[in-house]
Structure 1
Amino acid sequence: MKEIKVTGKQPNSRMCFVCGLENRFGLKSRFYELESGELLAIFRPATEHQGYPGRLHGGLAATILDETIGRAVMISYSDNIWGVTVDFSMRLRKPVPLNEEVRVLARLTKDGKRFFEGSGEILLADGAIAVEGKGRYLKIDINKITDLEMGEDEWLVTPMPDDPETIEL
C-alpha cells in the first residue's frame, strides 16, 4: 500500500441515491480527487443495501461503480460537465460486506471530444478487488440533463471532520 494525497473533494447533493446526504436510503458516498488523477469514493453500505444476507446487492455495486467512473470526468473539467452512461459492464469477484467502509477507485482511460471511457474497482478493507467495471460515457452539461437549478442548497461540497488529507491504497 502507498499513501496518495487528496487534492480535492467533489460535491454531494441533497437527495441523490449515491451521494445524497439527506436521502435516508442512499449510500451517502463521498468523492475525493487524488493526486494520481483518480477519483476515490468512500461509503459504508447499510443493512438496507443488502442483497444476500450480509452482502451488498450486486445492482448497488454496479450503481456506485458506474457513478464513480462517470464522475471521474469532473477532475479534468468543471463540475458542470457530467458523464452520462452509454455503456457499462462489470465483473463480480468477491462479495462486498455490509457495515464496513468500502472504497471505489476510478479513472478515465480514454478522453474524446464528446465521449470518454473509464474503469474502476470496488476495493475491500484489505485492498482486494471485489468488483471491476468499465464504461463509456457522454460528456454533457448538467443544464442539459435537468431543468432544476443546481444551486448551493442542492449541490455542495460539505466538509466532514473525517475528510482525509491522504489515502492509503
Structure 2
Amino acid sequence: MPDSLTQKIPQALADTHRQCFACGECNQGGLNLHFEIGEDGSASGVWQPSDVFRSYPDRIHGGVIATLMDSAIVHALFAREIAGLTAELTIRYLCRINLHDPVHVRGWVEGSRRRIYQCRAEVHQAGVLAVRATAKFMAMPAGS
C-alpha cells in the first residue's frame, strides 16, 4: 500500500476535504493534521498542540482530542475510497494529555455491515496510551 494518503485516495475525494477543520490544507484556523496510511490501512499522524487548544493549565481540550481521533478514522476510510460520516464516537480518556508534547493518533477500520463501519482510534503521548475510542461511521451516499 502507498505510504501517503494523497497517493492512496482518489483526487476527487481529497478535493472535498480541503476546508476541513481537522485536516484541510486550505483551513488556516484548523488543526492542519497530516496522516500516513499504513500497510494495514490504518491512518496515523503526529500533531503538536499549541496554547490555543488549551483547557485547564497544561492540558489539551478533550474536544480537540476527539477531533483528532475522528479525523484519523475518516482518513482510514479514505484509504478504502470511502467518504464517511460519524454516526457514533465513544471515547475513554485514560490519562491527561499534556499541552506541550506531541500527540500520536491512529485510526483504523475493524469491519462493516451494510454501510456502517466499525472503527477504532487511539492517542498516545510519550509512549503511553492516553485515549481510546470506538466508533461507527456511515458511508456517504454517492453524489452527496
CA distance in 2, matches of 1:75, 1:128: 26
1 CA distance for matches of 2:103 and 2:37?
A: 16
Q: Distance in 1 between matches of 2:112 and 2:98?
A: 33
| Letter paired with 2:117 | F
Q: Determine the structure 2 residue equivalent to 1:129.
A: 129
Runs of 4 or more, structure 1, over 6 Å off, are none
Of the candidates 51, 59, 69, which is equivalent to residue 63 of structure 2?
Answer: 59
State the partner residue of 1:114. Answer: 115
Structure that is richer in helix per residue: 2
Counterparts in 2 of 1:137 and 1:14: CA distance versus 1, 3 Å? closer
Further displaced range: 49-58 or 99-108: 99-108
Confirm whether residue 139 of structure 1 aligns to residue 135 of structure 2. no
What is the CA-CA distance between 1:64 and the residue it aligns to? 1.1
Alpha-carbon separation, structure 2, partners of 1:44 and 1:106: 18
Q: Which runs of 5+ in 2 are unaligned?
A: 7-13
Normalising by structure 1, we get a TM-score of: 0.71
Cα–Cα, structure 1 residues 114 and 60, in superposed 2: closer, same or farther, change >3 Å?
Answer: same
Q: Is the 8 A contact 1:89 1:133 kept in 2?
A: yes
Superposed displacement of residue 101, structure 1: 2.1
Q: Which amino acid aligns with 2:135?
A: G
In 2 relative to 1, CA 122–6 (structure 1 residues): closer, same or farther, beyond 3 Å? Answer: farther
TM-score (ref. length: structure 2): 0.82
The alignment covers a number of residue pairs equal to 136
Match of 1:31 among 32, 35, 43: 35
Query: Residue deviations 1:24-73, cap 9 Å, x none?
Result: 43211001101132110221111101111111100111111112113211
Q: RMSD across aligned C-alpha pairs, in angstroms?
A: 2.1
Distance across 2 between alignment mates of 1:95 and 1:21:
28
What does the per-residue CA deviation read over 1:134-159, in whole Å, with 9 as the maximum and x for residues that have no partner? 11011115741xxxxxxxxxxxxxxx
The answer to whether the Cα contact below 8 Å between 1:88 and 1:133 also exists between their aligned partners in 2 is yes
Secondary structure of the structure 1 residue equivalent to 2:138: strand
Q: Give identity over the alignment, percent.
A: 26
Give, in whole Å, the separation in 1 of the partners of 2:60 and 2:102. 12
Of Structure 1 and Structure 2, the greater strand share is in 1
Task: Pick one of 3, 9, 24 that aligns with 2:5.
Answer: 9
Match of 1:49 among 35, 53, 56: 53
The residue aligned with 1:82 is 83
CA distance in 2, matches of 1:37, 1:24: 28
